[in-house]
Chain A
Amino acid sequence: MPKEVTDVICPFCGTLCDDLIVTVSDDNKTILGVKNACAIGAEKFNHQRLPGRVKRPRMRQADGTYKEITYDEAIDWTANMLVKSRKTLMYGWASTSCQAMSVGHDIAEKVGGIVDNCATVCHGSSLIAIEDVGVPSCTLGEVKNRADRVIFWGCNPAHAHPRHMSRYSIFPRGFFTVKGHKGRKIYTVDCRYTDTAKCSDEFIQVQQGYDYELLNAFRTAARGEVLPDTVGGVPKEKIYEIVEDLKTCRFGIIFFGMGLTHTMGRNHNIDIAINLTRDMNDYTKFAIMAMRGHWNVTGSGQVLGWQYGFPYAVDLSRRDQARHQTGETTSVDLLNRSEVEACFYIATDPGAHFPIDAMKSSAKKPTVTVDPHINCTTEISDIHIPVAMVGVEVGGCAYRMDNVPIETRKVVDPPEGMLTDEELLTKINHRVDELLAKGGA
């Protein structure tokens, strides 16, 4: 008799939806159906039952093919690689549990690794800006219950966080927002007329790369100063009108995404968006929030934050101190300069999401990739270690985009004999201890 598991947490995006219902076969091995999830979340759960999943570690041979090896062999190879290398890039972490990260950081401390997470090519700029100027933020619950002005700036939740709008930002009725969508005014600022813009009351089309200028114009207008006729392609009358409207709201929120962090200006774009939020707090209550991408990239920032004081790109290769310097200890820069001796990727796919020049550099080094599935990175690695899918086959703590910790759930059993991230890292950690006790590899 198939059974339904309720209140399942979706391990795809930073929205961490917590109301999924997953139907599981009675032997607890196969997912039969998913309710309430978005298209991407449903696909993630359905992927669990696809045939052809790799169940044991694989090692690349000289002829380019892969040979199956045991977990013990893979763990030994990995531990040796980590101990031998004087500087190892340990990148990923955004799609695994906080418990696994903690073990990974322990290894990094011992072998002198550089721990970096997906924020480095995502919201890293936002984190730089937050370090610089702070962040007046809130939780998604507050947005749902209070926000009557919502601005999506350079983000497209309709595609990247599909249920964000229905759960928190546009449509839901909350305690003080009883009219739901009708009680809110939604603005979208983007260089494309995105699907999110189509759900908005007003679309402001900014010229690509002119976000800083437009945000600056908003601040200028809020102070009642003079503006040029157009800023970033937006007429000044429009800017004055929007700013006046924002001043009269009860609770405003700016959600921002890759449109700000990836374009020219990077952290300065976020910096000025935060300053605009601060300015608006002279008139009303205003908050700002980053639309975090991976479901637990916030968690990686949190764990690194409370362990070392920096949210990403933490260099532990000096052993006695943690260092963080963007442009120096960030993954893409390290690979560009070919500065690391080995690469350890976990729960991520830089092969698909890093610029190819960085990956060309990575492919020349000993590489181990830990991921449940075959991806672009596993196929250029020396060793691919498959693990159970966190949030589907094993639970663990994750942080939502508003820094609220949520315990994800195990829904089905992993394939027989398959290790979880935490178990695998613990075994690697023990092997590293043994090798170090012997005086290195």
Chain B
Amino acid sequence: MTSKITLNMITCRTIQQGVGMEAGKTSQKYFDACTIIHMHPEDMKKLGIWKNTNVRVTSSVGSVIVKAVETREDLVPGLAHIPMGPWANHIVPAYTYSTGEPCFKGFPVEVEVAMNERIMGAVEIVQDACGLIRK
């Protein structure tokens, strides 16, 4: 058990994310579908967490709080997945290697336990990053 593990991150569409998106970006469906990180049970064990624990995921560009869950779309240990959306894109490096496409798949992240941290809302997380929320 370690306090921090490094995983390879990919972000993809899931059908729940698609349904949530069409239900509305501010809907509970969208929030539930996208504020998760799919992790392999072995990685959860390494990190010393049960499923449904909040974690902080940090990449080279930022960090985001999401909930660690298991998935039926099996991953290999060391590979993690956050469904596409503002939470995933909070940690996606914007560099495009001159192709126009950012690194949506295959970038290293560090995952650590953040059991009591709150997950931000869809609009909130974007507004907060853009400095539009008055504190």
Contacts and interface: CB of A to CB of B under 8 A. Distances in A.
Contacts of B1: none
Nearest to A261: B101
A352 B85 contact: yes
Interface in B12-42: 12-15, 18-19, 21-26
A357 B81 contact: no
Interface in B51-88: 61-62, 72-76, 79, 81, 84-86
A328 B102 CA distance: 13
Given A156-B13, A363-B130, A44 B106 contact: no
A90 to B, nearest CB: 15
A208 B79 contact: yes
Interface in B104-131: 104-106, 122-123, 126-127, 129-131
A407 to B, nearest CB: 22
A374 B130 contact: no
Contacts of A179: none
A185 to B, nearest CB: 22
A363 B132 contact: yes
A352 B84 CA distance: 8
A159 B25 CA distance: 18
A355 B92 contact: yes
Contacts of A137: none
B76 A205 contact: yes
B12 to A, nearest CB: 6
Contacts of A376: 25, 86, 122-123, 126
A327 B99 contact: yes
B73 A121 contact: no
Interface string A122-161: 0011001000000000000000000000000000101110
Contact of A353 (B61, B72, B84, B93): B84
Nearest to A63: B134
Given A209-B106, A359-B129, A125 B24 contact: no
Interface residues of B, number: 53
Contacts of B26: 374
Interface stretch (A72-80, A189-197, A281-289, A424-432): A189-197
B44 interface: no
Contacts of B81: 192
A324 to B, nearest CB: 10
B127 A124 contact: no
Nearest to A60: B132
A159 B18 contact: yes
Contacts of B18: 12, 39-40, 43, 159-160
A43 B25 contact: no
A358 interface: yes
B101 A162 contact: no
Given A40-B18, A121-B101, 9 more contacts: A50-B23, A193-B74, A331-B100, A333-B96, A351-B86, A352-B21, A360-B131, A363-B130, A374-B26
Interface of A: 12, 38-40, 43-44, 46-47, 50, 63-64, 120-121, 124-125, 128, 156, 158-160, 162, 191-195, 205, 208-209, 258-259, 261-264, 266-267, 293, 313, 326-328, 330-333, 335-336, 349, 351-360, 363, 373-376, 379-380
5 contacts: A191-B76, A193-B74, A205-B76, A259-B105, A352-B89
Interface of B: 8, 10, 12-15, 18-19, 21-26, 61-62, 72-76, 79, 81, 84-86, 89-90, 92-106, 122-123, 126-127, 129-134
